[in-house]
Amino acid sequence: MNKISFRNDYSVIAHKKIIEKLNNFKNEINTGYAEDYHTENAKKKITALIKRNSDIYFLTGGTQTNMVLISAVLRPHEAVIAASTAHINVHETGAIEGQGHKIITVNKTDGKLTVEDIKKILDNHTDCHMVKPKLVFITNATEVGTVYNKNELKDLYEFCHKNDLYLYLDGARLAVSFSACDIKLDDYAKYTDAFYIGGTKIGSPLGEALIINNKELNKDFSYLIKHFGAMLAKGFVPAICFEALFEDDLYFKLGQDQNEKASYMTKKLKEIDVKLRYESPTNQVFAMLDNEKIKELEKDFIFERWDEKTVRFVVAFHNTYDEIDLLIEKIKNN
Amino acid sequence: MNKISFRNDYSVIAHKKIIEKLNNFKNEINTGYAEDYHTENAKKKITALIKRNSDIYFLTGGTQTNMVLISAVLRPHEAVIAASTAHINVHETGAIEGQGHKIITVNKTDGKLTVEDIKKILDNHTDCHMVKPKLVFITNATEVGTVYNKNELKDLYEFCHKNDLYLYLDGARLAVSFSACDIKLDDYAKYTDAFYIGGTKIGSPLGEALIINNKELNKDFSYLIKHFGAMLAKGFVPAICFEALFEDDLYFKLGQDQNEKASYMTKKLKEIDVKLRYESPTNQVFAMLDNEKIKELEKDFIFERWDEKTVRFVVAFHNTYDEIDLLIEKIKNN
Amino acid sequence: MNKISFRNDYSVIAHKKIIEKLNNFKNEINTGYAEDYHTENAKKKITALIKRNSDIYFLTGGTQTNMVLISAVLRPHEAVIAASTAHINVHETGAIEGQGHKIITVNKTDGKLTVEDIKKILDNHTDCHMVKPKLVFITNATEVGTVYNKNELKDLYEFCHKNDLYLYLDGARLAVSFSACDIKLDDYAKYTDAFYIGGTKIGSPLGEALIINNKELNKDFSYLIKHFGAMLAKGFVPAICFEALFEDDLYFKLGQDQNEKASYMTKKLKEIDVKLRYESPTNQVFAMLDNEKIKELEKDFIFERWDEKTVRFVVAFHNTYDEIDLLIEKIKNN
Amino acid sequence: MNKISFRNDYSVIAHKKIIEKLNNFKNEINTGYAEDYHTENAKKKITALIKRNSDIYFLTGGTQTNMVLISAVLRPHEAVIAASTAHINVHETGAIEGQGHKIITVNKTDGKLTVEDIKKILDNHTDCHMVKPKLVFITNATEVGTVYNKNELKDLYEFCHKNDLYLYLDGARLAVSFSACDIKLDDYAKYTDAFYIGGTKIGSPLGEALIINNKELNKDFSYLIKHFGAMLAKGFVPAICFEALFEDDLYFKLGQDQNEKASYMTKKLKEIDVKLRYESPTNQVFAMLDNEKIKELEKDFIFERWDEKTVRFVVAFHNTYDEIDLLIEKIKNN
**pLDDT tens track for A276-298:** 999 899 999 999 999 999 999 99
Residue of B nearest to D132 (CA): B93
Partners of residue B130 in chain D, C-beta under 8 Å:
90-91, 93
B305 membership: H or E segment, kind and range: strand B304-307
The minimal CB distance from A97 to the residues C91, C101, C128 is found for: C101
Sign of torsion over alpha carbons B2, B3, B6, B11 = negative
- 3 state SS of C142: coil
Mean pLDDT of chain B: 97
Three-point CA angle C87, C240, D322, nearest 5°? 135
- Is residue A79 a contact partner of residue A107, using CB atoms and an 8 Å limit? no
CA D85 – CA D95 distance, rounded (Å): 15
CB contact under 8 A, C128 and B222: yes
Chains linked to C by 3 or more Cβ pairs within 8 Å: A, B, D
Three-point CA angle A203, A206, A212, nearest 5°? 100
- Is residue B1 a contact partner of residue B297, using CB atoms and an 8 Å limit? no
* B213 closest CA partner among B57, B83, B40, B66: B57
Residues D113-137 have a mean pLDDT of 98
| pLDDT on residue C333 | 87
- Is residue D9 a contact partner of residue D303, using CB atoms and an 8 Å limit? no
Give which of C33, C74, C75, C130 to mutate to test B binding, by max B Cβ within 10 Å: C75
Partners of residue B233 in chain A, C-beta under 8 Å:
10, 61-62, 200-201, 206
- What number of C-beta contacts closer than 8 Å exist between A and D? 53
Partners of residue D308 in chain B, C-beta under 8 Å:
none
How far, in Å, are A18, A175, B240 from residue A41 at the CA level? 15, 20, 28
**Tell me, what amino acid is at A162?**
K
- What is the band of C334 on the pLDDT scale with cuts at 50, 70, 90? confident
CA A233 – CA B58 distance, rounded (Å): 16
CB contact under 8 A, B30 and A7: no
The answer on pLDDT for C149 being more than 80 is yes
**pLDDT tens track for D8-35:** 999 999 999 999 999 999 999 999 999 9
**pLDDT tens track for C226-268:** 999 999 999 999 999 999 999 999 999 999 999 999 999 999 9
* A251 closest CA partner among A204, A320, A192: A204
CB contact under 8 A, C100 and A98: yes
**pLDDT tens track for D142-157:** 999 999 999 999 999 9
Per DSSP, B59 falls in state E
- 3 state SS of A314: strand
How far, in Å, are A285, A316, B165, B259 from residue A8 at the CA level? 11, 7, 43, 44
Cβ burial, residue C27 (10 Å; 0-12/13-18/19+): exposed
| pLDDT on residue A333 | 86
CB contact under 8 A, A93 and C77: yes
* Helix locations, chain B, DSSP H: 16-24, 37-50, 62-73, 87-90, 95-98, 115-124, 150-162, 185-190, 221-227, 236-245, 250-271, 291-297, 321-333
Share of chain C above pLDDT 70, in %: 100
* CA atoms within 13 A of residue D127's CA, in its CB half-sphere: 6
Partners of residue C94 in chain A, C-beta under 8 Å:
76-77, 79, 100-102, 131
CB contact under 8 A, A129 and C92: yes
CA A83 – CA A67 distance, rounded (Å): 17
* B101 closest CA partner among A74, D224, C223: C223
- Is residue B228 a contact partner of residue B210, using CB atoms and an 8 Å limit? no
| For helices B236-245 and B16-24, angle between their N-to-C axes, nearest 10 degrees | 130
**Tell me, what amino acid is at A171?**
G
Partners of residue D129 in chain A, C-beta under 8 Å:
33, 226
Q: C207 CA to chain B: closest CA distance, Å?
A: 21
* CA atoms within 13 A of residue C328's CA, in its CB half-sphere: 20
Sheet with strand A284-288: strands edge to edge: A275-276, A284-288, A310-314, A304-307
- Is residue C40 a contact partner of residue C217, using CB atoms and an 8 Å limit? no
CA C39 – CA C204 distance, rounded (Å): 15
Q: In chain C, which residues touch A (CB < 8 A)?
A: 76-77, 79, 90-94, 97-103, 128-131
CA C19 – CA B333 distance, rounded (Å): 87
Give which of B93, B121, B129 to mutate to test D binding, by max D Cβ within 10 Å: B93
The minimal CB distance from B227 to the residues A11, A30, A95 is found for: A95
Cβ burial, residue A323 (10 Å; 0-12/13-18/19+): middle
Residues C274-289 have a mean pLDDT of 96
**pLDDT tens track for C152-196:** 999 999 999 999 999 999 999 999 999 999 999 999 999 999 999
Partners of residue C131 in chain B, C-beta under 8 Å:
223, 227
- Is residue C276 a contact partner of residue C266, using CB atoms and an 8 Å limit? yes
Alpha carbon D296 to its chain centroid, in Å, reads: 31
Residues D70-75 have a mean pLDDT of 98
| pLDDT on residue B150 | 98
Per DSSP, B188 falls in state H
Strands (E), A21-174: 55-59, 78-83, 103-106, 132-139, 166-170
**Tell me, what amino acid is at B247?**
E
Residue B311 neighbours by CB under 8 Å, 6+ apart: B286, B287, B289, B294, B297, B303, B304, B305
Report the length, in residues, of chain C. Answer: 334
The answer on pLDDT for C1 being more than 60 is no
Alpha carbon C160 to its chain centroid, in Å, reads: 21
Is-above-0.95 flag for pTM? yes
CB contact under 8 A, A77 and D129: no
| For helices C37-50 and C236-245, angle between their N-to-C axes, nearest 10 degrees | 40
- Is residue D4 a contact partner of residue D315, using CB atoms and an 8 Å limit? no
CB contact under 8 A, D130 and B100: no
**Tell me, what amino acid is at D218?**
N
CA C189 – CA C213 distance, rounded (Å): 6
| pLDDT on residue D209 | 98
- 3 state SS of C76: coil
Residue of D nearest to C98 (CA): D227
Partners of residue A130 in chain C, C-beta under 8 Å:
90-91, 93
Partners of residue C91 in chain A, C-beta under 8 Å:
129-130
CB contact under 8 A, B26 and A14: yes
Q: A235 CA to chain B: closest CA distance, Å?
A: 9
| pLDDT on residue B178 | 97
The answer on pLDDT for D38 being more than 90 is yes
The minimal CB distance from C91 to the residues A93, A102, A129 is found for: A129
The answer on pLDDT for B10 being more than 70 is yes
Q: B102 CA to chain D: closest CA distance, Å?
A: 6
CA D5 – CA D314 distance, rounded (Å): 9
Partners of residue B5 in chain A, C-beta under 8 Å:
29
Partners of residue A224 in chain D, C-beta under 8 Å:
75-77
Partners of residue D100 in chain B, C-beta under 8 Å:
94, 97-100
CB contact under 8 A, A22 and B25: no
| pLDDT on residue B3 | 93
The answer on pLDDT for B334 being more than 80 is no
The answer on pLDDT for B1 being more than 70 is no
CB contact under 8 A, D128 and A75: no
**pLDDT tens track for D255-276:** 999 999 999 999 999 999 999 9
The answer on pLDDT for D226 being more than 60 is yes
* A232 closest CA partner among B244, B238, C285, C38: B238
CB contact under 8 A, A224 and D76: yes
- What number of C-beta contacts closer than 8 Å exist between B and C? 53
* D103 closest CA partner among D65, D146, D66: D66
Average pLDDT by consecutive 10-residue portion of chain A (334 residues)?
A: 90 98 96 96 98 98 98 98 97 98 96 98 97 98 97 98 98 97 98 98 98 98 98 98 98 98 98 95 96 95 94 98 97 87
CA D145 – CA D158 distance, rounded (Å): 24
Residue of D nearest to A68 (CA): D76
CA A227 – CA A225 distance, rounded (Å): 6
The answer on pLDDT for D1 being more than 90 is no
- What is the band of B333 on the pLDDT scale with cuts at 50, 70, 90? confident
Alpha carbon C81 to its chain centroid, in Å, reads: 17
- What is the band of D325 on the pLDDT scale with cuts at 50, 70, 90? very high
CB contact under 8 A, C29 and D318: yes
Instruction: Kindly report the three-state secondary structure assignment for every residue of chain D.
Output: CCCEECCCCCCCCCCHHHHHHHHHCCCCCCCCCCCCHHHHHHHHHHHHHHCCCCEEEEECCHHHHHHHHHHHHCCCCEEEEEECCCHHHHCCCCHHHHCCCCEEEECCCCCCCCHHHHHHHHHHCCCCCCCEEEEEEEECCCCCCCCCCHHHHHHHHHHHHHCCCEEEEECCCHHHCCCCCCCCHHHHHHCCCEEEEECHHHCCCCCEEEEECCHHHHCCHHHHHHHCCCCCCCCHHHHHHHHHHCCCCHHHHHHHHHHHHHHHHHHHHHHCCCEECCCCCCCEEEEECCHHHHHHHCCCEECEEEECCEEEEECCCCCCHHHHHHHHHHHHHC
| pLDDT on residue A334 | 73
- Is residue B14 a contact partner of residue B204, using CB atoms and an 8 Å limit? yes
**pLDDT tens track for A61-76:** 999 999 999 999 999 9
**Tell me, what amino acid is at D49?**
L
- What is the band of B2 on the pLDDT scale with cuts at 50, 70, 90? confident
Chains linked to B by 3 or more Cβ pairs within 8 Å: A, C, D
Chains linked to D by 3 or more Cβ pairs within 8 Å: A, B, C
